[in-house]
Amino acid sequence: MHGYNGKILRVNLTSKAISIENPGEEFYRKYFGGRNLIAYYLLKELEPGIDPLGPKNKLIFATGVLTGGPFAGSARHSIGAKSPLTGYYGDGEAGGSWGWALKKAGFDAIIVEGKAVCPVYLLIDSGEVEIKDAAGLWGKTTGAVQKKLQQHLGTEIHVAQIGPAGENLVKYASIIHDLNHVVGRTGMGAVMGSKNLKAVVVKGGKFPEFHDAEALKKVASYMTSNYKKLAAPVVEFGTLNVLPGLNAGGGLPTRNFQEGAFDGADKISGIALHERFVSGKDGCYRCPIACKRKIARNEDLTLEGEYGGPEYETVAAFGSNCGIDSLPIIIKAHELCNSLGLDTISTGVTISFVLECFERGLLSAANCDGLELQFGNHSILELIPKIAYREGFGNLMAEGSRSLAKHIGNDALAFAVQIKGQEVPLHEPRLKQGLGLGYAVSPTGADHTQNLHDPMYEKEGGPLNQLKALGYYEPLPARELSPRKARLFIYGSAYRYLANCLVTCFFVPWQFNQLSEIVRSMTGWNTTAFELMKIMERSINLTRCFNLREGLEASEDDICSRFAEPFKNGPLAGVNVDPEKLAGSKLAYYRMMGWTDSGIPTPEKLLELGLEWLEPVVRG
Amino acid sequence: MSIRVRLYLEDFRFSHGQEILVHHMEKQSMAQLLNFLEIPANTVWLITANDQHVDLTYLLQSGDAIALYAPVGGG
């Protein structure tokens, strides 16, 4: 057994029972880890229809077979459970060092069950596990908790924790790792809070041996030598490098996705951030790309610095999409979210929804705690603590934009930019039409990471070359939506769906043959790109089956009405997502996946993937 | 008069957002500009001239503000 421990930790917080399971090599080979591991255990062990915030839900922290390896992009892990935000499968991934540290501490995954009577945290030190009292940590911000745990346990620890938002069961609460690496989406922080679990601290141990360390070193050195050439803009400005291009292309979400270009884009760009606020680069274990940024402390702006800098999603969520062109306000919003434990995407897009409701007269200061809210108004910062602590109007916002829209009534739901209950990330399907299909069929609701970013495949070149290794050769226009685009979506999102199982970072542009070589060197398996594609396909079918068992219907594989509206002006004036074309593309996707026209995997498809144990789910 | 060219490319020769000045290319095409800068056309997703979308046939004019963008991904 190489590259992983072969040990899964199970902690029942109700009974305080701690056990270790050894699933065996066959399990690891078939599922690899991450999303596949999480979905496997949720399907095997959860009763259908349970309350996501009840003790019967299980929260699973999972590394993958490649997590923690000595190569760029290895420092990621997944956290999953039934989502309180969507009611379906939920998970998210984070980088940093926590996943590597968990594996080094002796475990590939942790399954957390039940609910503690009072607040606790888990301490995992070199294979030893303790459930510790967290009464002194509960209610505190993540920065305060990190300091307190470091004072008590030393600075070598790595901490996954919730903030007050998770404690208060905010439906889009996040899990924060070492203050700046976040599992943000699908409300995993709320699930953690529902279990009275404040933190999981890992330290010590010894990383599992590799099958062929020399071969691993050789393939790893390729990226170390070439990353500046292969990922130049990310190296220079992190994820924020995409903002000028999206704005010029008409796909920068602006004022709650009503527009696609923002007058203040230059003021919130990566260049502006670097000129005024960045004090250095930051990144994940073993990664030379270092896509994160450190922010200088600035007392005049009350910036704290320790939570790092905002990435593209956060800048667009609180910036253009809320009509704000002030980087200090955006950085402060980012810091508040990381200190309180909120997903910046859902928080920002729920706020932008409220702003549009104000604009349309559906809300007023009278029902928003006296706040006069409008696009571009800096008072949005006041909403963030209200959400985290469920104070006043914040209590309604804490349920997410779909729930809030139903509470507001009238036609408010038309302005809630969410899919399956999860707020849409800051990528515009009217610009990237295949992305819209990806949003519709995503197992976790609107998600940009496991998706197609169409402009990358409009012309011959690097991204398309990567797909040629899989047998896809044809460039397509970003604004085409068709069965051909469904095919491109399947191939173009494959690397990203796979990354959620390995668990690796898709910003690091490994070729499929290199990833196969890394798996071979780590584990000793005779893995090929074909096997990697089967791993990817299993993840889509496992999560599909989970959602079907929870009652998902094909009609829910859709996007919100905002994107059927043509832009009124800007570079994409007159452009919308045609619902008929989307429906046709979705049907083509179902059929290409080996599913019925109702989006149900056939028993034969499941058998082909070795998932025949899921047949009872698809037979209803 | 010169032409200003701002570059948002995945090309490590240029800083992201770098502006360069190009002289004596008036009335030449955008394709010729890319050729002059040794930028392969397939690495450019979007071209604007004075904030308007243009293509490789666009003829450069004195005082133009050109911007070249690489394909935008997401993460």
Using an 8 Å CB-CB cutoff, list chain A residues near B45: 245, 249, 455, 458-459
Residue A296 — very low, low, confident or very high, per pLDDT cuts 50/70/90? confident
Instruction: Provide the 10 A C-beta neighbour count for residue A246.
Output: 28
- How large is the ipTM? 0.96
**Least Cα separation, residue B23 to chain A (angstroms):** 25
State yes or no: pLDDT of A286 exceeds 70. yes
Which residues in chain A are contacts of B72 at CB distance < 8 A? 242, 245-246, 249, 251, 453, 455-456
Q: Decide if A139 contacts A162 (C-beta within 8 A).
A: no
- What is the rounded CA–CA span in Å between residue A436 and residue A575? 13
**Contacts of A152 by beta carbon, 8 Å cutoff, 6+ apart:** none
Of A245, A427, A460, the CB nearest to B46: A245
Contact predicate A337/A384, CB 8 Å = yes
Chain A interface includes B50 (CB < 8 A): no
CB contact under 8 A, B10 and A232: yes
The DSSP secondary-structure symbol of A185 reads G
Asked if the C-beta of B57 comes within 8 angstroms of chain A's C-beta atoms, the answer is no
- Tens-digit pLDDT profile for residues A8-33: 999 999 999 999 999 999 999 999 99
pLDDT at A304: 76
Give B-chain residues touching A463 at CB under 8 angstroms.
71, 73
Looking at residue A140, what is its pLDDT? 97
Cβ of A271 within 8 Å of Cβ of B16? The answer is: yes
- Return residues 5-24 of B near A (CB < 8 Å): 8-12, 15-17
How many Cβ atoms from other residues are within 10 Å of residue B11's Cβ? 21
Q: Decide if B70 and A245 are in contact by the 8 Å CB cutoff.
A: yes
CB interface of A with B, residues 401-440, below 8 Å:
425, 427, 432, 435
* pLDDT at site A620: 75
Nearest-CA distance A265 → chain B (Å): 13
Mean pLDDT of A602-613: 98
Query: pLDDT tens-digit profile of A195-250?
Result: 999 999 999 999 999 999 999 999 999 999 999 999 888 999 999 999 999 999 99
Q: Is A553 exposed, middle or buried (0-12, 13-18, 19+ CB in 10 A)?
A: exposed
CB-based contact, B63 to chain A, within 8 Å: no
pLDDT (average), residues A63-86: 97
Whether the Cβ atoms of residue A295 and residue A227 lie closer than 8 Å to each other? no
| Cβ-Cβ contacts under 8 Å, B53 against chain A | 571
Chain B residues with CB under 8 Å of A227 CB are none
What is the overall mean pLDDT for chain A? 96
Read off the amino acid at residue A146: Q
| For residue A519, cis peptide bond before it (omega within 30 degrees of 0) | no
- Whether residues A232 and B12 touch (CB distance < 8 A) is answered with yes
Q: What is the pTM of this model?
A: 0.97
pLDDT along chain B (75 residues), means of 10: 92 90 95 96 96 97 96 83
Cα A437 from Cα A457, distance rounded (Å): 15
